[in-house]
Amino acid sequence: MDIILLGPPGAGKGTQAARLQQNRGMIQLSTGDMLREAVAKGTPVGVKAKAVMEAGELVSDAIVSALIGERLDSASDGAIFDGFPRTQHQAEALEMLLADRDRNLAHVIELVVDEEALVDRITGRFSCAQCGANYHDRFHRPKVDGTCDVCGSHEFKRRPDDNEATVRTRMAEYRAKTAPILPFYEEKGLVRRIDGMASVDDVAAAIDSILDS
Ligand code: AMP
């Protein structure tokens, strides 16, 4: 089963995609993660994407569609598209990539959220530099300050694009380019809306009930 998780930055797409991957054997395909990996490795794609990402703008449709094309076959038991598609062009590219493989989307799950609350969610988040465990300055601090609960590391990192100015640009990009693709999926009868402001467990339960329906 292939699904899209759609929602503005900080809506919880990554958190929910990681849970689905763990619990259902589906594969999380996050273009944001793929791009961050490319930036860290200094690949040609990473070099092109770095400044665009730091500004909170969108990387080109050709680059992100190619990244998805490269990974799609590794998710043959079901993909969770997380942060892709983000434009109408990308939605159309995804249609073709799936059709070429006799696959089609089962659901487009929209996480409906309050944007102002998201700015707080995003600007406070940080993660363990060693194991990637996620934390938040206010909502989820490590049990012992400065020590990762999971692996004991003392090193933490923040995404360079998680500052308020960049978050506002990312939200504006979402409103201008990503939200307008919803009608494309609505016409196909694929959109399911859930309350993304609920707790992580409640959002996960709502997604499970859609996938099991
Ligand atoms: P994310 O981790 O999904 O919040 O993505 C982080 C950044 O990577 C975004 O602000 C964009 O600059 C870039 N990015 C990720 N996915 C896409 C996409 N599908 N299309 C264009 N840019 C993307």
Tell how far the Cα of 188 is from the centroid of ligand 1, in angstroms: 25
Asked about 193 being catalytic, the answer comes back as no
DSSP 142-163: -SBTTB-TTT----EE--TT-S
Share of the chain above pLDDT 70, in %: 100
pLDDT of 144 reads 97
The pLDDT confidence band at residue 115, using thresholds 50, 70 and 90, is confident
Q: What is the edge-to-edge ordering of all strands in the sheet holding 2-6?
A: 27-30, 79-82, 2-6, 105-112, 191-195
pLDDT digits (tens, 9 = 90+) for 43-58: 999 999 999 999 999 9
pLDDT digits (tens, 9 = 90+) for 128-159: 999 989 899 998 999 999 999 999 999 999 99
Does the pTM exceed 0.75?
yes
Tell how far the Cα of 145 is from the centroid of ligand 1, in angstroms: 30
What gap in Å lies between CA 154 and CA 144, rounded to an integer?
10
Q: Is 121 in contact with 136 (CB distance < 8 Å)?
A: yes
For ligand 1, atom 12: residue with the closest CA? 53
Catalytic one among 36, 50, 121, 170?
170
Residue 60 CA: nearest ligand 1 atom is 21
Catalytic one among 48, 159, 177, 192?
159
